[in-house]
């Protein structure tokens, strides 16, 4: 606190600028029904456990159809001090804490920096692709990779990489 009784500026928390708050061209459920998303861990607000669970279920259903749910979750996970209460991307504060622990176990204690670097790399690759598009053969390889392996989830082991390369080359020569 300052001498005037106002909070010291360092007590204010600012969102991580590397992760802008997601926006949608259409109003999201949390904008149109904000009361549905008010929640504090252990908060029963005089409600029975059943009515609290019903309220959480309504919020989760609303989030399930939201066009920015993935970015909302990322923003909420990265900006912990700003999301100590409330439902974000169908998760409670406790669930987000657990998700942060799992991410830290997987990516390390500097997981926020890792995610920021991944986002930066993704944006740079997208910008480069606009200026230097893939060749026809490269596009075939990407398409075949997605068909065979689905979306990338985790880094591939060297043996998986070799297997994929042989499959892609076989598919490319057959095409």
pLDDT tens-place string over residues 102-128:
999 999 999 999 999 999 999 998 888
Which of 59, 82, 112 represents a domain boundary (last residue)?
112
Indicate if 53 and 130 belong to the same structural domain: no
Range of the domain at 78: 17-112
Radius of gyration of the chain from its Cα atoms, rounded to whole angstroms: 22
pLDDT digits (tens, 9 = 90+) for 129-170: 888 888 889 889 888 888 888 776 667 677 877 777 777 777
Domain end (from 80, 112, 144): 112
DSSP 114-148: HHHHHHHHHHHHHHHHHHSPPPHHHHHHHHHHHHH
**pTM exceeding the 0.75 threshold for the entire prediction:** no
Residue 149, CA atoms < 13 Å, CB-side half-sphere: 21
Q: What pLDDT does 50 receive?
A: 84
**10 falls within a domain:** no
Domain count for the chain: 2
């Amino acid at each position: 606190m300052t001498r005037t009784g106002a909070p010291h500026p360092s007590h204010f928390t600012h969102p991580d600028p590397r992760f802008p708050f997601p926006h949608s061209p259409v109003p999201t459920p949390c904008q149109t029904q904000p009361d549905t998303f008010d929640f504090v861990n252990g908060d029963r607000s005089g409600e029975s456990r059943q009515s609290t669970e019903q309220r959480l279920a309504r919020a989760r259903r609303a989030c399930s159809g939201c066009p920015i749910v993935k970015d909302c979750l990322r923003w909420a996970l990265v900006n912990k001090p700003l999301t100590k209460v409330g439902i974000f991307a169908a998760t409670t504060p406790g669930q987000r804490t657990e998700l942060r622990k799992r991410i830290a176990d997987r990516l390390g204690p500097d997981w926020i920096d890792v995610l920021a670097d991944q986002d930066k790399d993704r944006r740079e690759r997208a910008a480069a692709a606009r200026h230097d598009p893939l060749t026809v053969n490269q596009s075939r390889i990407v398409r075949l990779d997605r068909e065979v392996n689905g979306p990338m989830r985790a880094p591939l082991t060297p043996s998986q990489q070799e297997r994929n390369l042989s499959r892609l080359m076989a598919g490319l020569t057959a095409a």
